[in-house]
Structures are given as C-alpha cells and as structure tokens.
Structure 1
Amino acid sequence: MTSTIELASSFIEGAPPGELADVVADIQTLTEGDDVISSLTPAFERYNESQLTTVKLPGSSQEVIVSEFNKLEGNRYFDTESQTSFEFDHVTQTASGAQSSPLESQNADLIKSLQKALAIHAQEHYPSSSHGVYPIENDTAIAILLVANRYSPNNFWNGRFRAIYQVPVSSPALTGKIHIDVHYYEDGNVALNTSKPVDLSVSSLSAEAIVSRIAAAERDYQEELNRAFVALSEGAFKGLRRQLPITRQKVEWEKVGGYRLGQDISGGKAR
C-alpha cells in the first residue's frame, strides 16, 4: 500500500512551475496538520534539481541555478560565474553560507567563454532567465543549463523552459534535452509537458559554435511546436466543437439568459 510520504512526494515532484508553495499547502491540508514536510526533503531535492530551481545568493540580485551538475557534498552547490559556493535549503528554497569557490578546471577558458556567449543568447531570447556552465564527469565534459520562468497567476497560467546540454571536451558534439512545462488553470486544468532530445555535431569546440547550435536547436523545436499547435487547432480541436453554430452566428449568451428570465416571469410561456 502506498504510504503518505510516497503520495506526498509524488505531489511535490509533479508540482507545476511556480506552484510548489500551493502544493505544499495542499499537502498540509490533506494530512490534517501531520508533520510530513520534514520527511519530504528528498522529494524537494529531486524537484529542485530536476526543475533547475533558481535562487538569489545572499547580498546579490543575481539568481543562480540549483542542479545535479553543480552539486557539492551535503546541500551545497556552486556557481562558476560568480565563483561562489552556497548552502541551499530545499524546503524553503533559500541560499545561505556563501563562500568563495574558484573555478578549478582545465577547461576554465572554454567555460568562461561559454558563459559569455550563453548570456547573450539568453538575454536575446529568454526574459527572466538564468544560465550556468559547469565542468562535469571529472572535468571531461561540460554541462550547459538554461532555465526561463514566466509566472502569471493573475491570468491563471505559469510556464517554464528548461534546456540541459552536455559537451564532451574530447569531441565537438552536443547532447541533451529541451523541456517545456505550461500550466493553465482557469475554470479547469490544461497542462503542456513536452521535451525534445538533442543530439548534434558541432563544427568546432568553441563557445560560438556550441551556442550557435544550441540556438538553432531551440529555434527548430519552437517552430515545430508552433506547427503542431496550428495543426491541433485546425484538426482535432476543430472536430470536437463547432467554432460557430449552424446559423454561422455567435450565440449571445447574455440575451439567452434574458430570454429564460422572461419565460420564468411570464409563467414559462415565451413571447
């Protein structure tokens, strides 16, 4: 039988973008005040790392990424651009204990060049985004991360774009995955959760060539999604419901309500 912790963990890990606090509140309500949140730290950690949660470092306005690629021992993570390590509380999503952490990598020059090129790409295409470049696999490869969040709770929608790429330093190749999550919840729930694997060759092991391939891959995927949405709107969705009634005129629902009220007042006889 599934335990309360397992069920609550699944809620945490499935939280839509920007709605983790609401999910936590729901868990507390459903468990009737039982102290389960403290037992859910592993689920929070998996969620934060997989979703590329961002956090502001103490005394800084810059947001850095929390992921499996920049994790140190314990609950500490590092940021190569600011050359800082920090402790991260996965439940409260806050950073503390910032310390100097110099970039020690034989690929430091390439990492710094990638950071600059990626920053230009992010600023051009993704408002409110964060990015990170980290040495991985015992310094034999580089991880390139990009995350952009757009939250609009007043309009009942939130969205997140994530891209995770890996580049081996021994050969010019690019692998990874692009993720898009959107949740629309006005008078119902509609969710888009899609991903696209990336496996490309790169002309050279330079920051410009790598980021150029990244930009092309993301553009191609967005164009692919646009075509799919148009086909869905003109195909399956159009077949589910008529855009206009047989009269080819929109129904004026306000008047329909008035007609019904008139019938009630007159004893059920329409005039």
Structure 2
Amino acid sequence: MSRTAALSSFIESTPPGELADVTKAIKSILDDSSVASELAPAFEKYNESQFTTTKLPGGSGEVLVSEYNRLGDGRYYDVESQSSFEFDHASGKASGVQSYVLDSGLGDLVKSLVKSLGTHASEHYPKSSLGVYPIEDDSQLAIVTVASKYSPSNFWNGRWRSSYIFNPSSGSLTGSIKVDVHYYEDGNVRLLTNKDVSLSVGANAGATEIVRQIANAEKKYQEDLNKAFGSLSEGAFKSLRRQLPITRQKIEWEKVASYRLGQDIGGGRGR
C-alpha cells in the first residue's frame, strides 16, 4: 500500500467532528505540513460521504456538502438559500457565494420536500441540515438529512445520516440510515450502524406522504437502536466481566494493599 493510500484510509475512517484532529496528528507524525495537498482527494471523499455542513459567509444556517449537490470545480449548491458556493475540503470553509436558481422539472416537488423535511427534522433532531437535489438527468430526487452533535470536552462525538433516492415514476424510495458515534475517554469505543431502507410510496406521491414514510422508517430505527442498547447493557456487556471475584465476595478496596494475592483474592490456601 502506498503512503497516500494508507494516509487516505485514516482520513476516510475518521469519526465525526474529528477531521481536523486527525489531520493535525498526521502532519505531526510525518513532520510534513504540506501533506494536506496530497490528501485532497481523501478530504473531498470524506466530506461528501459524511454530508459535511458549512456556514456560508453572511448566512445564519448551515448547508450540506455531498455528491448530490456537487457542481464541479469545488463548487456546490443549496436549494433553500438559492446559492452556490466554493468549499475548501481541507479547512471546511465556504467562500465565493453566488446566486443559484435550480432549473428542474421537479422544482415544485423539491421545494415542498424541503419544507416538509425541515418540519420533520426540527421535531426529531436538536440540530440538523437537509437537502433535496434532482439527480439522474432530473428523473429522481436525492433526499438527505444529517444531524451531528459534538462534545469533545466529554470525549464523544456523533452523527446521524439518512439519504434516500425517490423515483417519481415508480414511487420507490430507497436509501440508508447511518449512525456513527465515537466515545474515547480512557478508551476507544465506536458505534457504526447502517440500516438499508426500501419503501413504496406510490407513483407521483406528494411531499407530505414521502416525508411521512421517511419519518416512520427513522422512528422505527431509533426505537430498534434503543432496544439493542438495552439488551447490550443487560446481556452482552455484563457477560464481559465477572460481577464478583472468584471468592464470591466483593473486594474491600480500602484494604487492597494488605491482601495476599494468591490466598486472599485467588482463594488459595496458605502454606
């Protein structure tokens, strides 16, 4: 494996909210501040797949960066603000904002979906960004939601991503829901989940019905995750360690210095 490929794999597997830290560590280990240019393709792939968000200069909300709203030459567009912007994948900053009017035969449905999806997201996610983009020569729509929450002072970061492709002709709605959570206080634990979704909402379905189906799928997945966490804490996690030492008695930690390892803790007989 080449150096570039190895370093790119680190970038692409970076937990949410930690790209700057990983990049800083790579530069420090290699003692090479110019490595960012070598990793430019990896930064782009990471930001687009993670649905990275950025604030537009002078804007109040955050907009998405993804393969679906890519214009080329490092530029992306946002339907709601009717603007396009240049995005620096290394720094995560937007610039060069210009007016952009979506030219699509599905324009009315796009606007309705943005509104309905915004209502759904505001009800279920504390902070989120979303986008609806025509793809495949204006024959389908990509519907994207991302919600991130970072708490580095408490050693955890997390991100929810959901993306769907809606085909107005067939009424099919397919996509996936992904959850990525990293906890790293006195250890390194990461949760990565991927739930495939395949629904039929009917040909020429309206925005309300499409978002209703999305909301039901996401609610069910959240409930499934909660049940799985409960089962883990009561089952698998408990079996990872013995609740009591082999003596079947709790250790008196204030007296631990006076224990004789083999006899008192291990239950062996003295000689």
Could you tell me the TM-score, scaled by structure 2's length? 0.90
Structure 1 residue 229, shift from structure 2 partner = 1.7
Q: 1:37 aligns to what SS in structure 2?
A: helix
Residues 10, 134 of structure 1: CA spacing in aligned structure 2 closer, same or farther, 3 A cutoff? Answer: same
| Alpha-carbon distance between aligned partners in 2 of 1:161 and 1:40, rounded to the nearest angstrom | 25
Q: 2:71 aligns to what SS in structure 1?
A: coil
The one-letter code of the counterpart of 1:174 is L
The one-letter code of the counterpart of 2:81 is S
Does the 8 Å CA contact 1:171/1:205 hold for their aligned counterparts? no
Partner of 1:56: 55
Kindly report structure 1 stretches of 4+ aligned residues shifted beyond 3 Å: 242-253
Structure 1 residue 39, shift from structure 2 partner = 1.0
Partner of 2:233: 233
Residues 251, 222 of structure 1: CA spacing in aligned structure 2 closer, same or farther, 3 A cutoff? Answer: farther
User: Does residue 210 in structure 1 map to residue 210 in structure 2?
Assistant: yes
Partner of 1:98: 97
Structure 1 residue 169, shift from structure 2 partner = 1.7
| Alpha-carbon distance between aligned partners in 1 of 2:140 and 2:116, rounded to the nearest angstrom | 18
Equivalent runs, 1:1-271 vs 2, <5 Å? 2-33=1-32, 35-203=34-202, 205-243=205-243, 251=251, 253=253, 255-256=254-255, 260=257
The one-letter code of the counterpart of 1:239 is S
Structure 1 residue 157, shift from structure 2 partner = 0.5
My pick for the range that moved more, 153-162 or 195-204, is 195-204
- Structure 1 unaligned runs (5+)? 264-271
Structure 1 residue 262, shift from structure 2 partner = 11
Residues 262, 167 of structure 1: CA spacing in aligned structure 2 closer, same or farther, 3 A cutoff? Answer: closer
| Alpha-carbon distance between aligned partners in 1 of 2:206 and 2:252, rounded to the nearest angstrom | 60
Report the aligned-residue RMSD: 1.9
| Alpha-carbon distance between aligned partners in 1 of 2:249 and 2:114, rounded to the nearest angstrom | 55
| Alpha-carbon distance between aligned partners in 1 of 2:236 and 2:134, rounded to the nearest angstrom | 45
- Structure 2 unaligned runs (5+)? 261-271
| Alpha-carbon distance between aligned partners in 1 of 2:126 and 2:252, rounded to the nearest angstrom | 39
| Alpha-carbon distance between aligned partners in 1 of 2:191 and 2:55, rounded to the nearest angstrom | 28
State percent identity of aligned pairs. Answer: 59
Structure 1 residue 233, shift from structure 2 partner = 2.1
Q: 2:39 aligns to what SS in structure 1?
A: helix
Residues 225, 250 of structure 1: CA spacing in aligned structure 2 closer, same or farther, 3 A cutoff? Answer: farther
